[in-house]
Amino acid sequence: MLGVPAYRPLVDAEPLGQISDPPRATALEQLQQRQHPRSRPRHTEKNTGRILSGITSTVDDMTTFASVRIVTDNLDRLTAFYEHVTGLTASRPAPVFAEFRTNAGTFAISSSDLTTKLYGEDVVRPAANHTAFLEFQVEDVDAEYERLSDLEFVQKPTTMPWGNRSLLFRDPDGNLVNLFTPPGSVPTDRT
């Protein structure tokens, strides 16, 4: 956390150019509640008041996974890609930020302009991820393979040793995406 003043919160979803300094706790709490409406208030005696993408400073709150975010140089292109893949429509709370809310958590995409403004030039490198999978559970991997036939696949539908039926491809920034169907959900003629 070098270079972050102690009085400045780490809030990553404010529109570019509207980052306040110093923060107002009420405004931060309202932003947090809009991002994660089912979460409980964060400003308690145990809490330091710092917020980073739903990650709180208290141990008992750290068991709720809130979101994962990828950073891109082309937000509109990547948002359109994931709208096509997931069938969901992204919400755009700011021109530099998009999010897909699911029952499991939020998948967010932000512009590198935002992360550079907030964290500096070398903190995040768009399109440089070769260590993580973005995984989406789907009803029928084979049907998704047919629907997404315009994509270039890393792996065609395959039954994995642990039973999932899985399909791999890369998004326009090179992030690896896995669509999978758990065991028992796959028609037996496809294994």
Residue 34 phi, psi (nearest 5) = -65, -40
Is this model's pTM higher than 0.75 or not?
no
Helix locations, the chain, DSSP H: 25-35, 75-86, 112-119, 141-147
Token pair in block for residue 125 = 């490198």
Question: 190 by DSSP, 3-state: which?
Answer: helix
Gap between the Cα atoms of 146 and 72, Å rounded: 27
Give pLDDT tens digits along the chain (191 positions). 344 333 333 334 434 444 443 344 444 455 555 655 554 444 443 333 434 444 444 555 567 788 999 999 999 999 999 999 999 999 999 999 999 999 889 999 999 999 999 998 888 889 888 788 999 999 999 999 999 999 999 999 999 999 999 999 999 999 999 999 999 875 555 55
Q: In 10 A of CB 178, how many CB atoms?
A: 18
CATH number of 133-190: 3.10.180.10
Q: In 10 A of CB 121, how many CB atoms?
A: 9
Domains in the chain: boundaries: 25-119, 133-190
> Domain 25-119 adopts which CATH fold?
3.30.720
Number of H helices and number of E strands within the chain?
A: 4, 8
Q: What is the Cα Rg of the chain in Å?
A: 19
Gap between the Cα atoms of 57 and 52, Å rounded: 9
